[in-house]
Amino acid sequence: MPRRRHLLAAALALPSLARAQTAAWAPSRPLRFVVPFPAGGATDVAARILAERLTESLGQPVVVENRTGSSGNIGMENVVRSQPDGHNLLMGTSGALTVNPHLFANLGFDPARDLAPVSLVFTTDSALIVNPNVAAQTVAEFLALARSRPGAFSYGSAGAGSSTHMAAELFRLAAGIQVLHVPYRGSAPALNDTVAGNVQFMVDQLPSCIGQVQAGRVRALAVTGPRRSPLLPDVPTVAEAGLPGAENTSWGAVLVPAGTPDAAIERLGAAVREAVAIPAVRERMAQAGADAAASSPAELAALMRREGERWGKVVREARISVG
């Protein structure tokens, strides 16, 4: 009986011990925060805003490191191969994490297997924009035009497999229209050609195109998020326009190498969630065109699974190839 009481007491103490271990974990040296895209973009800006706050809350410098190339694969693999001790972080994006595995046959790693989710950080919506010379004021009018002239309309993207390409293909599949894809080397030249009328439309992220929309150089027919954007309150969502299957939101999230201790993941996740709840942080991210967000590791893992399944289907149905 005394032994049973001892075992019961030990079992009851386990949750408290786990909490104590989690609370006790702290970084012992500067943290490396890898952004797999160039400096200056929305993902990089959001990472630097977050890094400043994490430096304060974790008590160690959080240093942003840009490792670019191969649509984010180089930076992701760098983190995958790094020490899983809580000191190596990745700012992953929806495209790199959930689209790339379906595009690159020899990726060499699996983000879902080789990275451990920590928390969401931000989301960004896109907009269906058309050149002002397109005689459509609504999505319904645009679809009627496209269906009356199959293959006559073209859209620009930042390149094969980019978020702007995937979002436009999702829209095309949901709408059942035939249009021509014109890939560019980046979203800026694609947007410029949409303004010039060399391509008729684009599905571009709001941080990129909002200035051109507000200036009247392109017309926004719909936004892709689940709610109307405060930036374009009079523009309906794709669901409101009758195409719920075209709804999508890009996002960025913190991940660490698989095998990182649970205590470290929980401490990092708590620090991220605390940071993005701060009004000043949310405001700075909004100025960069991102909406601050947060999640548990389990919620982020579930999101990655759902997005991976959806984008895999788009890649297959649209027969998208990167080369």
pLDDT tens figures, 222-270: 999 999 998 899 999 999 999 999 999 999 999 999 999 999 999 999 9
**pLDDT on residue 207:** 86
Is-contact 193 217, C-beta < 8 A? no
**pLDDT on residue 18:** 41
Cα–Cα distances in angstroms (integers) from residue 157 to residues 10, 42, 82, 149, 226, in the given order: 59, 17, 33, 21, 22
**pLDDT on residue 323:** 57
Is-contact 252 64, C-beta < 8 A? no
Q: Is 64 helix (H, G, I), strand (E, B) or coil?
A: strand
Q: What fold characterizes domain 29-124+249-318?
A: D-Maltodextrin-Binding Protein; domain 2 (3.40.190)
Beta pairing class for 250-257 and 88-93:
antiparallel
Rounded CA-CA distance 39/31 in Å is: 18
Neighbours of 136 (CB within 10 A): 17
Rounded CA-CA distance 252/118 in Å is: 11
pLDDT tens for the chain, 323 residues long, are: 444 444 444 444 444 444 444 458 999 999 999 999 888 888 899 999 999 999 999 999 999 999 998 889 999 999 999 999 999 999 999 999 999 999 998 899 999 999 999 999 999 999 999 999 999 999 999 999 999 999 999 999 988 888 899 999 999 999 999 999 999 988 889 999 999 999 999 999 998 899 999 999 999 999 999 999 988 999 999 999 999 999 999 999 999 999 999 999 999 999 999 999 999 999 999 888 789 999 999 999 999 999 999 999 999 998 988 85
* CB-count exposure of residue 270 (10 Å: 0-12, 13-18, 19+): middle
Rounded CA-CA distance 193/243 in Å is: 26
**Domain range summary for the chain, segments of one domain joined by +:** 29-124+249-318, 126-246
- Tell me the one-letter amino acid at 243: L
Q: Burial letters for 180-200: b for 16+ Cβ neighbours within 10 Å, e otherwise?
A: ebbebeebeebbbbbbeeebb
Q: pTM to 2 decimals?
A: 0.84
Q: Is 285 helix (H, G, I), strand (E, B) or coil?
A: helix
Q: CA dihedral in degrees (227, 233, 239, 241; nearest 10)?
A: 180
DSSP-assigned beta bridge partners for residue 291 = 123
Tokens encoding 205: 């992220």
Residue range 69-110, pLDDT digits in tens: 888 999 999 999 999 999 999 999 999 999 999 999 889 999
Question: Same fold for the domain at 29-124+249-318 and the one at 126-246?
Answer: yes
Q: Is 97 helix (H, G, I), strand (E, B) or coil?
A: helix
Rounded CA-CA distance 213/207 in Å is: 11
What architecture (CATH level 2) is domain 126-246? 3-Layer(aba) Sandwich (3.40)
**pLDDT on residue 322:** 81
Tokens encoding 246: 């075209």
Rounded CA-CA distance 169/163 in Å is: 10
Of 131, 293, 296, give the one whose Cα is nearest residue 212.
131
Sign of CA dihedral 187, 193, 196, 198: negative
